[in-house]
Structure 1
């Protein structure tokens, strides 16, 4: 009996040892289960919130091959009905050399995704997700996270996860706005730049240039919309827009819409939109590439509401574009920041003063002329009246002549004053500014005081009184009579003396 009890206790002890050993071994195996790190590299200009889903799971070999493939926990059980056996689907994808097949597969999976891991990654930064089991993973942007930003959604990323890095596949286009400057007096025209100056009434040439994203090939269609906003002092000239893709005209492929008084400030908004730039290019015989440029040229007039001086008359443009290569032009879009340029205009202020140099003098009228194509032409004339200050607004740089067309009674007319307005403004700047306004040449004796903020050049024009001549019936007449009498007496004496001299001979 004792022997039997001892034998039973040994059996129980041995069984417990096997049980504990097996449990410990299982625990060790679980603890030693291999996990991996996935690094997400965001090479975009905006922060991204990525979602990571395990599509397939399996055994991972050293060479990165995934075997014994099963559906992962990142997809619902309904995926089996939709796609069938995981191993067969994985083999189908592995045999395909067409990246479009992988893109289509990723798009078709969207309705079955679950249990995603989110990771936010700042612009141009890398962040990692640890503890991932071996498998085949889908990386995508969170829905709506890049809508109306200056960013783009990454193309779907499918990766076999070991310790690996997934790099975003995205890029965005750019847009810039330029203006051309012309000096009417010298005939010189600048290149395309960020600022210019013009006379009120002048037509101004503008140029907009848009680029392509580096991954334009990933899109099957591409929405492209320019939005140009002009300040109140600028009036769009209809039917002047010309649009080209790499030099080939495609104006008819864009829809133009003009909205005047688009807001309370009186701005004008013009949009040129194309629902599918790829189709527009193909129609014109142009294939879009990463170096393709879309150029819009048009004209606008500087009108009577133009702002004089430092504030100037700004004009901005932005570009709305397809930013999801997984969905192309459908749905969400990106938007660039505004690019700005500015047109300046100036004024000359003439103060009419008496010969003391300070007292205002009424009764004068002035005409301002500008040299254009070698000849002076009238800019504006003020008729004589009660005014003593005359403001000639909306002037460009160039050569001018101020003529006193009406002179106050009793005063001498001034010699016309010739002067040259010179200005400097930022030609390449995000926020162009007027930096200098001067009169570089002026007639002798003429001086101008500049005010860059007001955009003014002020001068005092002095009139001097004419000479006072003797009047009939006055003291001057008496003096003339007296002098005349003396001359008559002298003449008579001369005659008498001459006759006496003749008799003596």
Structure 2
């Protein structure tokens, strides 16, 4: 027994007990609470409940006999450190990959000279890692880019051995059973997606940071050392001033998803994304927001470029660190904000911004409903804006993943007004002119497409052959519809205006919105037809009644008529007498 302990103590000085995520733990000798037992096989399980279809790859670095205490037969003391003895390279390919990675480090005299001396290399790896992580390492430590273990993992990803005996194995369920004992590296082989689970769509998975562990003794149960970025989109309603109204929540848990707006009114949007918790393991971290607006909406532009503000936490990012582009399309208009390397971001003063696993990236911009694209069919229906995030998902390659699309919604409304006469309320009056204004805004008039103007003549709304006017692109609010020119033969009953209110309850899930018709219309008695106010998807309808003009009584008509008749009779008698007199005179001359 004493000989065995002595041998293990010597070996411990040449080896490393390494745990998850590239973590190195100190080797200790503590057999007082149990009996040390050597083993040549072990089991590893990498559990990931969120992503289906992800496969993992195990690469054996060192073959060894692994010793750990047992508290009773076949029961390992999981609190006891594992030690390795009889260390050998797992394969020539692994040896050449690891040692070849450090061949160029001519300034490090501590590097072993003999590439076949596996124990010496194990000791060197342990010493280098302890120096790189002065505060110590544990199971939550991720490997910083460029550190010894990170470089080893990157080099070993190129190894293509074909079976566990020579040091290579894959698993589609994260379970590795009866692996040869030794020191192993586990990495992601192919990322999966939540699309493979009971969810309808989801993020692409990210590659785990390297998991270095000792196989043998107690089973190894690990979780992938990574996190997948997430993205969301919020919209600021014009009746408020915040993207998140609940002060106890964040934009990821309680973002405002819906707002309504008038035609050509700029609305504030915010895109927000997280970064990988192990971003320190990436040398280059690409990061791109792709925002799909409906064809009915356009962002605020400066020339052909979208006007955006990009922030990392509270720091405004220098525009030189990212690209912002806009591309109109037939069905969607696309706004893109892209970082080639988020880790190199600087603020507007040129100071580097620290980006770590707790950082949030924001993109703020404004967009509006295009007056030329608004029509009656879209009233009350969600204009859907989707954002997606594309991110680096492998610390050692240029691979990328994508997030779920996250939506925000914008709504607009309209009115459908019918003009009739009191003598026939089933027939519309053509050619009646109105103006529409928002209550309290007497200097501006609203045109049929919802756009405001100071030119009242330009904004006149004229009833068609059916006696109707239709206005689209209205926001929630109170309006005044004023009749300025009635139909011929009718009185102007709405000269003092009909006041109506578009009330709504915004649907945060993108469903249709129907304004409320209850107590929404106010006018003088008889101006609005009783029970004519109705509400449908996105639209308020009502009927305005004009009174038929009334004639005034006339006097003297009969006397005038008699005078004309008498005068005519006298004239006829005079003419007849004249004709008879001339005839008699002619007869006398002939005699």
Counterpart for residue 340 of structure 2: 275
Distance in 1 (alpha carbons) for counterparts of 2:99 and 2:226: 33
Task: State the shift of 1:161 in Å.
Answer: 0.5
Q: Deviations over 1:100-145 (max 9, x none)?
A: 2111112122333412222123xxxxx4322122111111111576
The 10-residue stretch of structure 1 (192-201 or 435-444) with the greater mean CA deviation from structure 2: 435-444
Map of 2:171 onto structure 1? 119
Match of 2:325 in 1: 257
Tell me if 1:94 matches 2:119: no
1:141-156 equivalent positions in 2, closer than 5 A: 141-143=188-190, 149-156=203-210
Distance 1:461 1:376, change over 3 A: farther
C-alpha separation between the residues in 1 aligned to 2:352 and 2:98?
A: 45
**Do the aligned partners of residues 33 and 255 (structure 1) sit closer, same or farther apart at CA in structure 2, a change above 3 Å counting?**
closer
Counterpart CA distance in 1 for 2:436 and 2:158 is 74
Q: Which runs of 5+ in 1 are unaligned?
A: 1-31, 122-126, 479-505
Matched, 1:348 2:415: yes
CA contact (8 A) 1:159 1:166 kept: no
Residue 442 (1) aligns with residue 505 (2): no
Match of 1:109 among 131, 150, 156: 156
Q: How many angstroms does 1:281 deviate by?
A: 4.1
What residue number does 2:292 align with? 229
Q: Which residue of 2 aligns with 1:465?
A: 548
CA shift, 1:65, in A, is 0.9
Q: 1:476 to 1:167 in 2, by over 3 A?
A: farther
Q: Which of 48, 54, 76 matches 2:60?
A: 54
- Aligned-partner Cα distance in 1 for 2:549–2:477: 34
Q: 1:37 touches 1:130 (CA, 8 Å); kept in 2?
A: yes
Residues of 2 paired with 1:157 and 1:476: CA distance?
118
Q: 1:181 aligns with which of 237, 253, 275?
A: 237
Root-mean-square deviation (CA, aligned residues, Å) is: 2.8
Structure 1 residue 275: Cα displacement: 0.8
CA drift at 1:346: 0.9
Unaligned runs of 5+ in 2: 1-37, 69-80, 101-114, 133-142, 195-201, 245-255, 448-459, 562-591
> Which range is displaced more, 374-383 or 399-408?
374-383
The reply to whether residue 411 of structure 1 matches residue 518 of structure 2 is no
The corresponding residue for 1:66 is: 84
Q: 1:149 to 1:208 in 2, by over 3 A?
A: closer
* CA–CA distance in structure 2, aligned partners of residues 248 and 335 of structure 1: 25
Q: Distance in 1 between matches of 2:362 and 2:99?
A: 50
Distance 1:475 1:336, change over 3 A: farther
In structure 1, distance between residues paired with 2:94 and 2:344: 38
- Where 2:172 maps in the other structure, the secondary structure is strand
1:79 and 1:384 map into 2 onto residues whose CA distance is: 82
For residues 248-290 of structure 1, give each alpha carbon's deviation from its aligned partner in whole angstroms, at most 9, with x where no partner exists.
21133111121111xx42x211111111111114853421122
Any conservation in 1 of the 2:232–2:406 contact (CA below 8 Å)? yes
> What's the secondary structure of 1:318's corresponding residue?
strand
2:434 alignment counterpart: 366
Is the CA contact (8 Å cut-off) linking 1:156 and 1:326 kept in structure 2?
Answer: no
Q: Does the CA contact (< 8 Å) of 2:39 and 2:65 recur in 1?
A: no
For 1:76 and 1:325, locate their aligned partners in 2 and report how far apart those are by CA, in whole Å. Answer: 20
Secondary structure of 1:425's counterpart equals: coil
Q: Which structure features the higher share of strand residues?
A: 1
- Residue 77 of structure 1: CA displacement? 7.4
Query: Which residue pairs with 1:483 in the alignment?
Result: none
Matched, 1:426 2:507: yes
Q: Distance in 1 between matches of 2:558 and 2:471?
A: 47
Q: 1:235 to 1:208 in 2, by over 3 A?
A: same
User: 1:382 aligned to 2:400?
Assistant: no
3-state secondary structure, aligned to 1:358: strand
TM-score by length of 2: 0.67
Question: Counterpart of 2:402?
Answer: 335
Tell me by how many angstroms 1:349 deviates.
Answer: 0.5
Displacement after TM superposition at 1:384 (Å)? 6.0
Q: 1:385 to 1:54 in 2, by over 3 A?
A: closer
- How much does 1:205 deviate? 1.4
- Aligned residue-pair number: 426
